[in-house]
Amino acid sequence: MKLFIKDHFPLIVMNVVQMAVVLLVYWLDGYHKLSLIVYSLFLGCLILTVYLVFRYISNRKFYERLTVTVNKMDEAFEMLDTTPLSQALGKLLQKQYRLYLNHLHLQEKKRNDHLTFINQWVHQMKTPLSVIELITQESEDERLESIREEKDKLEKGLEMVLYAARLEVFEQDFQIEPVMLKTVIEEAIRENKRLFIKNHVYPENRVSPTIVESDEKWLKFIFNQLITNAVKYSAGKGQKVLVSELNTPHETIVTVQDYGVGISKTDLKRVFNPFFTGENGRIYRESTGMGLYLVKEVCDKLGHKVEISSVQGEGTSVQLSFRR
């Protein structure tokens, strides 16, 4: 009703002005009969009122559509009034919806093509890396050891690219099931064995065979990222990376603790932002700023909570919480 009145307010004003001008002309011409003036005003107002009521009834659904929020897409295509303006609005909404669907399907196709390409490319890159692994493991030459280390970096980079691409279609790529935490963490530590040795850091796993509801593949990716970060920022300190567990009545909390360089207070609030490397990124040039971002995104989608605390120069602690 408010929109209808606002829309027709200029018409009401113009009609009032028009009636006043006409009556003024008659008055100036010598017709001073007050009863006739009042009767004319009454007829003018009555005709205008009848027109406005008819107009409102005819276009009521049209004005409601413009003022009421649409909660479902189907509501946008409900039949409106039979007036030309209402019909034009209905056709416009349908055309806009078809354009939107076409654009959506096009973007979906582009995303699927991109994901297919990334998957194929990553798997193609894994073949030469496997060959490099076979060649270099036959000798203890220091140069070949360096090649193995660089090969490990390439594998981790490819893994991050693959999981970042899969994150776009996460709903199609996860399965919640009972997962044993200790087994997943042991596999993540085993995969980073050479990284531990190279950086003179040793792992300590204090997690019991606790079962949580999660996706094993994505959970392994999470711990791989956390352990890799913990080792990288503890390099050369001869320290350990401690993975421990705390059980409460409502949740299981797994903590990945390192005793490395730590994170400054100014950077701590932004570590989950994509591509953010902070002060440590200027020291450790290999930092991409994507590891913790992907961890946070995956945890949010799986319904897990991830928090981080750190003291610069003393180490960093990442807590991963699983609801019971």
Q: What pLDDT sits at residue 320?
A: 94
Cα 297 to Cα 147: distance, rounded to the nearest angstrom: 32
Neighbours of 43 (CB within 10 A): 11
Provide the 10 A C-beta neighbour count for residue 243.
26
Statement: residue 308 has pLDDT above 70: yes
Report the pLDDT averaged over residues 90-106: 84
Q: Region 30-43: what's the mean pLDDT?
A: 79
Max mean pLDDT range (35-49, 69-83, 114-128, 169-183): 169-183
Q: Is 313 left (phi over 0), alpha (psi -120 to 50) or beta?
A: left
pLDDT digits (tens, 9 = 90+) for 197-212: 888 888 999 999 899 9
pLDDT digits (tens, 9 = 90+) for 145-166: 888 888 888 888 888 888 888 8
Torsion angles phi and psi, residue 212, rounded to 5: -130, 160
pTM > 0.85: no
Higher per-residue pLDDT: 237 or 154: 154
What is the total residue count of the chain? 324
Among 182, 277, 274, 291, CA closest to 227? 291
pLDDT of residue 74: 61
Sheet holding 240-247, edge to edge: 202-205, 240-247, 251-258, 315-323, 305-311
Predicted local distance difference test score (pLDDT) of residue 319: 95
Q: Give the mean pLDDT of 288-308.
A: 91
C-alpha of 19 from chain center: 60
Alpha carbon distance 177, 216 (integer Å): 8
Whether the CA torsion 154, 160, 161, 163 is positive or negative: it is positive
Token readout for 179 is: 């997962």
Q: What is d(CA 51, CA 45) in angstroms, rounded to the nearest whole number? A: 10
What letter represents residue 6's amino acid?
K
Residue 304, classified by CB atoms within 10 Å of its CB into exposed (0-12), middle (13-18) or buried (19+), is buried
Lowest mean pLDDT among 68-72, 136-140, 233-237, 308-312: 68-72
pLDDT value of position 122: 85
Give the integer Cα–Cα distance in Å for 311 and 166. Answer: 33
Q: Which of 288, 258, 263 is nearest to 275 (CA)?
A: 288
Other CB atoms within 10 A of residue 201 CB:
25
Q: How far apart (Å, rounded) are the C-alpha atoms in residues 293 and 253?
A: 20
Strand 202-205 and strand 240-247: the pairing is: parallel
Residue pair 256/243 in contact by the 8 Å Cβ criterion:
yes
CA atoms of 292 and 256, how far apart (whole Å): 13
What pLDDT, in 10s, does the model give residues 118-141? 888 888 888 888 888 888 877 677
